[in-house]
Amino acid sequence: MIPVLKPTIDARTKKELLKVMDSGWWGFGPKTQEFEKKFAKYVGAKYCVATNSGTSALDLCLKVYNIKGGELITTPMTFVSDAIVGEWNNMDVTFADIDPDTLCLDPKSLVITKKTKAVITVDSHGRLANIKGIRKKFKGLIIEDAAHAMYTPGAGKDADITIWSFQAVKSLPMWDGGAITTNDEKIYKKLRTLTWLGVEKSTYDRAMGKKYTWDYDITQSQGIKAYMTDTQAVVGLGQLRRLTKTNKRRRAIQAMYNKAFKNMPEIEIPKYSHTVQYYTMKCENRNELSEYLADNGIVTSVHFKPLSKMTYWKKAVKRPLPVNDEVWLKLLTLPVHNALTNKEVKFIIKKVKEFYEG
């Protein structure tokens, strides 16, 4: 069976993980702090706060800007995290339509009202969202969800604040994890306490003096338990070290698919992605092709079945989403990951062509 996505890890990172496990310090500590510094430098931000997931990071972005109530606008072409954090903060969620090529939120579809308090836009499949276009229509809080864009040049530059995801099948995978980057020192300092229920000084910070200090203060009540642990961070450091190489491999697979499919009338190859978080093409007879590939040991997926088609989230459809509704029916994601061999890619290409050629 060829999986659609699969994380990989090198021998050096495995050894470093065992060192952390043997150290006796598994929670937030020196490896997390090291990861935050190196990650911030890598993406060109002044500050980074590492979290236990991208979802936690999204929630904290709303909390750190004191967003409570009002309207959150986001894309339906995403995972549920981008919508549900709005409800967690008593917001009314509204979906905007997408660009047919990038699959990112289309600024032209935005309807801004007095109730609109924030926009979460996703760098879909690793392609940068049009944040400057959004800014022309909306002067409030713009959160960039760069979960797919680790690292697409330019990610994290134009929004007010940016989140990243290191979930197990992302281009920088841990078991799970996330991060928030910002250039605002006040926001950074507030985020630090928000990641641990308002506690103003971490256990690690209290343990690093000449002697352990048990006393601490709690300065506010808006926080959640969201900090990253050193067992996550040490894996993240290893993945960050090899990210240029692993993303290059993903782009090589993208190029192989594009070359094979570019002249096939039944397939529209996807717009270029620097990270190739997903290789999601538009194709005729999507469901039948998926079944045929499954019968031949090839796992595919759809990124994404829109949130607007999910029973609970249909309430967030306040106006027509014509592009979203048409495009998603043709989307199919083929395997892309660093464990995928050229032989397997050629086999996948062969089976796709077999399906259409009969």
In a domain, 207, yes or no: yes
Residue 231 and residue 121 share a domain: yes
Confidence of residue 90 (pLDDT cuts 50, 70, 90): very high
Residue 37 and residue 85 share a domain: yes
Q: What is the pLDDT of residue 125?
A: 98
Structure tokens at 298: 């090839």
Full domain range(s) for residue 66: 11-241
Which is more confidently placed, 200 or 132? 132
Q: How far apart are CA 350 and CA 52, in angstroms?
A: 40
Domains contained in the chain, number? 2
Residue 205 has pLDDT above 80, yes or no: no
CB-count burial class (<10 Å; 0-12, 13-18, 19+) for 63:
buried
In a domain, 3, yes or no: no
In a domain, 1, yes or no: no
- Three-state SS for 95? strand
Residue 236 and residue 247 share a domain: no
In the DSSP assignment, the letter for residue 199 is: B
Name the least confident of 17-31, 206-220, 223-237: 206-220
Confidence of residue 88 (pLDDT cuts 50, 70, 90): very high
| Mean pLDDT, residues 26-55 | 97
Point out the domain boundary residue: 206, 221, 241. Answer: 241
Residue 190 and residue 307 share a domain: no
Which CATH number characterizes residue 269's domain?
3.90.1150.10
Distinct helix (H) and strand (E) counts, the chain: 12, 10
Residue 208 has pLDDT above 80, yes or no: no
Task: Give residue for tokens 């979930």.
Answer: 167
| Mean pLDDT, residues 228-238 | 98
Residue 248 and residue 334 share a domain: yes
Residue 258 and residue 179 share a domain: no
In a domain, 6, yes or no: no
CA distances from 41 to 9, 38, 44, 349 (A): 22, 5, 5, 38
In a domain, 290, yes or no: yes
Point out the domain boundary residue: 225, 241, 257. Answer: 241
Q: How far apart are CA 167 and CA 245, in angstroms?
A: 19
Which CATH number characterizes residue 165's domain?
3.40.640.10
Residue 128 and residue 35 share a domain: yes
Residue 144 and residue 218 share a domain: yes
Computed over every residue of the chain, the mean pLDDT equals 96
Q: What is the pLDDT of residue 233?
A: 98
Q: How far apart are CA 279 and CA 299, in angstroms?
A: 13
Rounded to 10 deg, the angle between the 342-357 and 243-261 helix axes is 30
In a domain, 168, yes or no: yes
Q: What is the pLDDT of residue 220?
A: 80
Q: What is the pLDDT of residue 265?
A: 98
Q: What is the pLDDT of residue 358?
A: 81
Residue 144 and residue 236 share a domain: yes
Q: Quote the percentage of the chain above a pLDDT of 90.
A: 90
In a domain, 205, yes or no: yes
Question: From its phi and psi, is residue 17 left (phi > 0), alpha (psi between -120 and 50) or beta?
Answer: alpha
pTM over 0.85: yes
Residue-wise pLDDT for 116-132, tens only, equals 999 999 999 999 999 99
Tell me which residue of 124, 128, 132, 159 sits closest to 144, measured CA to CA.
159
**Type and span of the H or E element at 334:** strand 331-334
Point out the domain boundary residue: 177, 209, 241. Answer: 241
Q: Quote the percentage of the chain above a pLDDT of 70.
A: 99
Structure tokens at 290: 């998926």
The residues that bridge with 76 in the sheet, in sequence order, are none
Q: What is the pLDDT of residue 210?
A: 65
In a domain, 4, yes or no: no
| Mean pLDDT, residues 334-342 | 97
Residue 322 and residue 183 share a domain: no
Residue 51 amino acid letter: T
Q: What is the pLDDT of residue 171?
A: 97
Confidence of residue 209 (pLDDT cuts 50, 70, 90): low
Q: What is the pLDDT of residue 212?
A: 72
Task: Give residue for tokens 């709005």.
Answer: 86
N- to C-terminal Cα separation, the chain: 23
Active site residues: 170
Q: What is the pLDDT of residue 206?
A: 66
Residue 201 has pLDDT above 80, yes or no: no
Residue 313 and residue 234 share a domain: no
Residue-wise pLDDT for 145-166, tens only, equals 999 999 999 999 999 999 999 9
Residue 265 and residue 160 share a domain: no
Residue 223 has pLDDT above 80, yes or no: yes
